[in-house]
Structure 1
């Protein structure tokens, strides 16, 4: 389930004892973060809340300290694999939600009767649901992303009749060498004709997916000739082409590269 849908489950929930909501920047590419700045921010943010509720009854303070301890332990447990940021929502009644994010957040800490998801709702507009298509000659890799998260990964393979190359040696090889270029041209023409039809069919499938999931943008990545050809088959208002080969990249890395472009 996409992150924003998960968090909306908290929207109408409340707890008299309180909800702890944390948005914490943990980007390890930042020089400050490499020195453990996030630990200081976490400690100070939680300390500030405790100081603020000192005037409340003992039960509230006890509940907060219990949730604070659980939250701190959970965050420290993932300190060797921290992403750009994290969001945490927890309450004394057992609700606990911790998610790593690949987008920056504003450091904020809340203790209130309701969880605070306004920042994520705002970020969902900045990082809406989008589709990334890594177009290659014989397959297309699709990623649906929102809030920097991967919602869907899907591989479409193009099944096409393959030429069975037979090996020739000696004189037979040299005699057939002259015919080879023409033979390859005919093969390529047939391949490209089939590919064009396949792109059109797949574009229709992608279009339905984009409309159903309300994509705001489709990114086409890969070799320019292939992305340009695929774009011709799409009837979508916002299509952006990125002429880069992400063949050796993971899905997470592809999303990061596209969002940073």
Structure 2
């Protein structure tokens, strides 16, 4: 689901009896989170809301208690594979959504008529759907990311026999390579045909970017490869990163590019 659709669904999540919104920082890499302090913050945040609602109507009070129980259960169930943060939105009617994020948020606990989406909207603006292309001459790794998460991975490998790029889809695709060819022979052919071959791939990438709504693209690799590939792209918001990140996993590449 695209972010705009997901946001709209949350905006429509109105409840007169009340909506619970929780932003919870669960980033285990932070010093103050090493011993599971997020559990204490969760407990204290919900307790403060409970104290605030003690004088509310019985319907609102009971609605809060019910959705609070669901929130605690769902958040605690997520602790076996904790992301950097969690966002929980639930209504007194029992409808709820739990979103895991690989970007950090500020702890916040709110009870309103509508979900409080300011932080989520801010993160979507800061970490929009983006393409990352690792240019490796014969192989180009494409990573699609949104909100700091890996949405998809694929590898475009140059096939010498068909003289076209073949795409391998999936999380293990970065381990796939094209057919073996003598390096000197390939380098000579590649140098002679680089512009034409990159132009073929750029066309495929641009179709993918348009279809999936990329906000921009990062070209990562050696200066000569990234510069040449950039010439073949007509996309907006293209940023060239002249680094060798091929030994990093996709989520590590995202961390490197979007470090904040």
Q: TM-score, normalised by structure 2?
A: 0.82
In structure 2, do the counterparts of structure 1 residues 57 and 219 end up closer, same or farther at CA, with 3 Å as the change threshold?
Answer: same
Q: Residue 78 of structure 1 aligns to a residue in which SS?
A: helix
Stretches of structure 2 that go unaligned for 5 or more consecutive residues are 162-178
Which residue pairs with 1:11 in the alignment?
Answer: 11
CA displacement at 1:40 relative to structure 2: 2.0
Report which of the two structures shows the higher radius of gyration computed on alpha carbons: 1
Q: Residue 200 of structure 1 aligns to a residue in which SS?
A: helix
Q: Residue 10 of structure 1 aligns to a residue in which SS?
A: helix
32-41 vs 20-29, which deviates more? 32-41
- 1:87–1:98 CA contact under 8 A, matched in 2: yes
Given the alignment of the two structures, is residue 257 of structure 1 paired with residue 256 of structure 2, yes or no?
Answer: yes
Which residue pairs with 2:160 in the alignment?
Answer: 160
**C-alpha distance in structure 2 between counterparts of 1:224 and 1:198, whole Å:** 17
- 1:4–1:124 CA contact under 8 A, matched in 2: no
189-198 vs 67-76, which deviates more? 189-198
Which residue pairs with 1:235 in the alignment?
Answer: 234
Which structure has more RCO (C-alpha within 8 Å, separation ≥ 6)?
A: 1
**C-alpha distance in structure 2 between counterparts of 1:84 and 1:22, whole Å:** 14
CA displacement at 1:258 relative to structure 2: 1.6
115-124 vs 27-36, which deviates more? 115-124
Which residue pairs with 1:179 in the alignment?
Answer: none
**C-alpha distance in structure 1 between counterparts of 2:236 and 2:122, whole Å:** 23
CA displacement at 1:186 relative to structure 2: 5.4
CA displacement at 1:62 relative to structure 2: 1.7
Which residue pairs with 2:172 in the alignment?
Answer: none
Given the alignment of the two structures, is residue 203 of structure 1 paired with residue 197 of structure 2, yes or no?
Answer: no
**C-alpha distance in structure 1 between counterparts of 2:215 and 2:45, whole Å:** 35
Q: TM-score, normalised by structure 1?
A: 0.82
Q: Residue 35 of structure 1 aligns to a residue in which SS?
A: coil
- 1:141–1:153 CA contact under 8 A, matched in 2: yes
CA displacement at 1:112 relative to structure 2: 1.8
In structure 2, do the counterparts of structure 1 residues 62 and 35 end up closer, same or farther at CA, with 3 Å as the change threshold?
Answer: same
Number of paired residues?
Answer: 243
Which residue pairs with 2:86 in the alignment?
Answer: 86
Q: Residue 13 of structure 2 aligns to a residue in which SS?
A: coil
Q: Deviations over 1:123-173 (max 9, x none)?
A: 2222222211111222222222222233343332221146877xxxxxxxx
187-196 vs 225-234, which deviates more? 187-196
CA displacement at 1:18 relative to structure 2: 1.8
Which residue pairs with 2:190 in the alignment?
Answer: 191
Which residue pairs with 1:172 in the alignment?
Answer: none
**C-alpha distance in structure 2 between counterparts of 1:202 and 1:104, whole Å:** 35
Which residue pairs with 1:132 in the alignment?
Answer: 132
Q: Deviations over 1:221-251 (max 9, x none)?
A: 1333322221222233432222333334332
- 2:63–2:93 CA contact under 8 A, matched in 1: no
- 1:86–1:100 CA contact under 8 A, matched in 2: yes
